[in-house]
Every structure is written in C-alpha cells, then in structure tokens.
Structure 1
Amino acid sequence: MIRLRVLCPDGDDDLAGRVLRVLGEEPGAVHVVRMRGAAVVPPGDVVEADLARESVDEVLDALRGLGCADRGGIVLETLDTLVSAAADRAEEAAPGEGVDALVWDELLGRTGSQARLSVTFVVMLTIACLLGAIGVVTNSPVTVVGAMVLGPEFGPLAALAVAVVRRDGPLARIAALALGAGFAIALVVTALAAALADAVELIPDDTLTNLSGVEFVYQVGPFSLVIALLAGVAGMVALIAGEGSGVLVGVFISVTTVPAAGFAAVAAVLADWPRAASSLAQLLLNVAGIVLAGVIVLVIVRASRRRRGLTERVPTGRTGG
C-alpha cells in the first residue's frame, strides 16, 4: 500500500471535498482522512488515504486534473507494514497485482534523484573504478566484486530507459551527463593513479600476463550481452515493484561496467591497447544492454496495463530531485 497526502489550499471551490469524492469512487482507496485547517503553507486542509499500488496512477491522474499538484501538493509514501482488514479488501478490489503495478511518479522519483551528476555520484564511481582496477591488477575477483557492488551507475542507466519510454529529453540529458562526465572523471583519476603506481613500481611487470581470475572483466564473450540484458530486466522490475536494495546488489554484481572502465584506464597507461579497447567494448555493451532491457520491461508493463483497460497518464515536467 501507498500513503497519499494531498494539500488542499483554502478556496471557494472546496478542493478538499472534490479530492474526497475522487477517493470515494476508487475501490483501492481506504483509511481516508480529512484534516481541516491542518496545512499551514499553503493554508488549507490536508487529505490522506492509503491506496493499493494498482490504484495510484489513476488517482494521481484525477488529482492533477483537479489542480492539486499546481495549487497545493501531492505526497506519496510507501508503507512497509499495514495491519488492516479494510486495506486487504481494497487491495483485492483494485485491478491487477500490486507487485506488478507501475507507479510512474514513484519510478521517476527514484530514477530521477539517482541520475543527477553530483559530488557523491562522482566520488563513489571513482572509488569503484579504482577498486576495479586494483582488483584486476592484483588478480583479485573479490575486489572486483566489491567494485561492482559499490558502483552507482545503475541509477542513470535506469533513468535513461525511463527517458526513452517517456520521450523525456531533459531526463535523458541529465542521465547522460551523469554517465558521461562521471565515467570521464573516474577514468582520468584511475589513469593518473595507475601512472603513479607504475612510476613507483607498484604494478608488477607480469601484471597483464597473470589475469586468469579476472578475464571476464575485459573479455567480451557470447554471454556478455545476455548477462547485461538479464541484469537490466531484474533491476527495472525491482524498481517497479519497489523492492529493497537486495535485488539491486545482485544486479550490480552481475555486470562488469565499473571494473571494465577501471581496467581500461590501467591498460591504456600500460600501453596494452587491445585490452583497453576490449574493456571499453565491455563497458559499452553492458551499458547498452541494461538500458535496452529497461526499455523493454517498461514497454511491456505499459502495454499490459492498456490490455487490462487501465488508463495511464505518464507525468510530465518532472525528473526527480
């Protein structure tokens, strides 16, 4: 279930009353509460309700039509635990299954906030690339896996998939900037660190001949695209269903975007251009596979909603924050 809170500014048109009528007509709405005069800025009433996930998009569409988003505000909050027979009945009355419901605003909030180029994103991506490079140089699969888990690149990749389906140019530019600038900075820092390590002889001479445990990082094999596609499907399904970080950690571990980027920088410093090119190819293949899989999942889910006769209004003018 999802908790809905609507701020209804004071006015002659009784906006709160109309919101209550919308909720009253929705079988997936329960625990509807009106708090008169509870809102301070803007002054007015607050209406709350618990919604089955399947009902959220339709209710939001109606509330936008009333002007709630422009005049007041709409807040969504996922409820982890709700003990209520009425809520159980509301979930049964709502069409479809809650775990399969696509709530566009929720998805946009998650992907949009994770897609922005920030100091935190760049620092985490750079550290992950450094760890990936160290893992390959030391032939340590454990360190490489650590770099995979630490890498924050899935957020912008998921945002790109959402942007493609929504045809959202601003969101696509935000995500592309985060990926492009983030990886560029991480690669430069990793290359400088590799050059320094090579200058002080921290990198053994036989480094590039002893990579039996980490060859998967730079070798583009027949299953590279398959793994990227499967990881992209799992990651997008987890985001849609509102699953926790556990599923996404599995997604991170299955793809080699960050380690491939880190090793590409090291291989370039050591003038091993074939391996550098192969690592970059691995990076690009993983990026393309994850985005393509995300697009496919979103298209299928949206088509499924339409076949069930559910209306859908993809929100516009929002990229998270």
Structure 2
Amino acid sequence: MRIIDLTVPATRTDEFVADLSALEPLAVRLQRGASLIPRGDVVTLEVRNEQLGEVMRIADRYGLGETDGVSMSTSVPLSVVAPSHRALTREIGATTWEELELSIGEDSTMTLDRTVVMLIAGVVAGVGILTGALHVVIGAMVIAPGFQPFARFVLGVINSSGAWKGGLIDTARAYGALLVGATAAALIGGAFGAGVQHGGEDSYLAAGSLIDYWTTITWGGLVVGGAAAVCGGILISLNRTVLTAGVMVALALVPTATMVPMALVAGDPTLAASAGLRFLAEIVLVLAGTTAVFLFKRRRDRRRSSA
C-alpha cells in the first residue's frame, strides 16, 4: 500500500480528482489551498501497490514534475486499521522508478561512515584470508555495502538520469576504501610473518583453498555470481536493499578485490592479476544481472513513458 500526496494547481483540481477517483483507490482526501510551495490544492490517495502505475500515468498527463504541473511524494504506512484495508495483507511488492532511484541513492552514497565500514571490511577480509578463516571473510562480505553502488550506476544508465555518475563515483570510493583496508591487513599480517603465500596454513580448511577459489574463474563461480546478481537486482527493485547482504556473501566481490593488494604486498603480481581478473568477472556479472532485472521491470510498464 502507498500513501500518495499530490499537489495540483487549483484550476485543474476537480478534473484531476475525478480521474484519480475512477481508479477506485482505498481513500481520497482533498485539501483546497493547503500547499503554499508549490501553490495549489493537496490530494492525498491511499492505493494498493498495483495501482501505482495508473496513478503515475494520470499524474503524467497533468504535468508531473513540471513547472505549474503536479508535484508528488509517496510513503508507506506502518499500520492501517479500516474495513477497506483488510485485503492488503497479501499485496504484491511494487516500487516506482522515482522511489527506486531515491532509495538506492540513499543506500549507496558512500558517506564517511559507509566508507569507513568498507575499509574495515577490507581489513577483516584480509585477516580472514591470511588465517584461512572462512567465517571471518563471510563476516566482511556481510558488513560491506558493496552491491548498491553498482546497482545505482545501472539504474542511472537505464533510466537516463544522472544517478549513474553518483553510482560510478561511490563504487570507486567504496572499493578504494576496501583496497586500503586490505593493504593494511597485508602489512599487519606481514609483521607477524603471515602472507598470502602461506594460504592460511593453520586454518581448519586445506591450506590455500580459499585463495585458489577466489583467484580462479570456474563455471560454478560464474553461475552462483550471476544468480546472486539477478537476486540482488530483484531485491533492490522491491526496495529490500537490506537483504543484499546475503547477495554479497554469494558474490566474490569483497574477497577477490581484497586479494589484489595483498598479493602485490606479498610480491606476487601473478596472483594479483588472477584475483583482479576474477574481480572483473564478478563486476560484469553484477552489471549484467542488475541490467536484466531493471530492463524487465521497465518492460512490465512500471515506467509510465510507454503508456
């Protein structure tokens, strides 16, 4: 369910409300002259998620986002108690492109806090690789907000908006911080006599198994990475970005990126090149998977321009 607040010029209010009421929304409220900036009447709708597209199409006809046109904001209620809302317990998930771009922009912007988290993730992943502790590396994958910037880039390209620039900048910032953290882990490990060439000899896993896995491109890794990328795109399109932590576990973005500076610190450019190639393969999978999901979403007419 969505609550939609629309500001419309007073001269077009009656016609606008009539068109919206034809959709049979759950509720319609009108406050004449309630908006000062922009000046106009405020129409508040409560609609089912599947009605979002129709509302957006009507708003487009009245100049949504244009000067002297309609302005809009959406929100999701925490609870609703009314006879007309009893059928909402099994609603489908739905988002508009505007909601998607706003939410992914908020979740993917590399603020100082998020940048520090990525740096810490690099340290944690590096230590996990050096010690062969798989659970530590998984922990780094979970805490690293490394999927959303890629998705923001793809969304901006498909939506022909400036979001792709922010996504590109924040991706570079995020993984730059991760590389710094990984380099720090490699230097700290080297001070204690640990390096990637040892491959976690004291691990509960076979020595070098993690390093071999994350520096080798296999059909299994490609299938898992591709499936995870598609899953991540679906979660973002449903505005469930919090669940992309699980996607980051399935992807190998964090450990492969971490391996690159660690191998260079250890004086093994060949290993660094192998890790870098696997990292690039993961990036291609993420871009391809999210592109496929967003294009499918566009074809399903959640973008109103085709109407």
TM normalised by structure 1 equals 0.81
1:98 to 92, 99, 112: 92
1:191–1:269 Cα contact (<8 Å) kept: yes
Q: Secondary structure at the match of 2:6?
A: strand
- Does the Cα contact within 8 Å between 1:30 and 1:90 map onto a contact in 2? no
SS at match of 2:304: coil
For residues 300 and 157 of structure 1, the distance between their equivalents in structure 2, rounded to whole angstroms, comes to 18
State the one-letter code of the partner of 2:92: G
Equivalent-residue separation in structure 2 for 1:37 and 1:51 (angstroms): 23
The answer to whether 1:233 aligns with 2:230 is: yes
Whether the 8 Å contact between 2:125 and 2:254 is mirrored in structure 1 is yes
Partners in 2 of 1:222 and 1:313 — Cα distance? 39
* Residue range with higher mean Cα deviation, 140-149 or 206-215: 206-215
Decide whether the 8 Å contact of 1:6 with 1:73 is kept in 2.
Answer: yes
Cα drift, residue 132 of structure 1: 0.9
Counterparts in 2 of 1:82 and 1:291: CA distance versus 1, 3 Å: farther
Q: Of 192, 210, 233, which aligns to 1:201?
A: 192
Structure 1 stretches lacking a partner, 5+ long: 315-321
Describe the SS at the equivalent of 1:98.
Answer: coil
Correspondence 1:186 to 2:163: no
In structure 1, what is the equivalent of residue 5 of structure 2? 5
Which position in structure 1 is the counterpart of 2:289? 293
Identity %: 21
Alignment of 1:130-141 (within 5 A): 130-141=123-134
2:256 maps to 260
Stretches of structure 2 lacking an aligned partner (at least 5 in a row): 202-206
Query: What aligned pairs does 1:78-227 form with structure 2 within 5 A after superposition?
Result: 78-87=76-85, 98-99=92-93, 101-168=94-161, 170-198=162-190, 200-201=191-192, 203=194, 207-208=198-199, 210=201, 211-212=207-208, 214-215=210-211, 216-227=213-224
Cα pair 1:129 1:186 within 8 Å, conserved: yes
Is the contact made by 1:126 and 1:185 (CA closer than 8 Å) also made in structure 2?
A: yes
Counterpart-to-counterpart distance in 1, 2:214 and 2:78? 38
Find the counterpart in structure 2 of residue 49 from structure 1. Answer: 45
Would you say the 8 A contact 2:197–2:266 is kept in 1? no
For 1:38 and 1:52, the matched residues in 2 are separated by 25
Distance of 1:180 and 1:311 partners within structure 2: 29
3-state DSSP class of the match of 1:208? coil
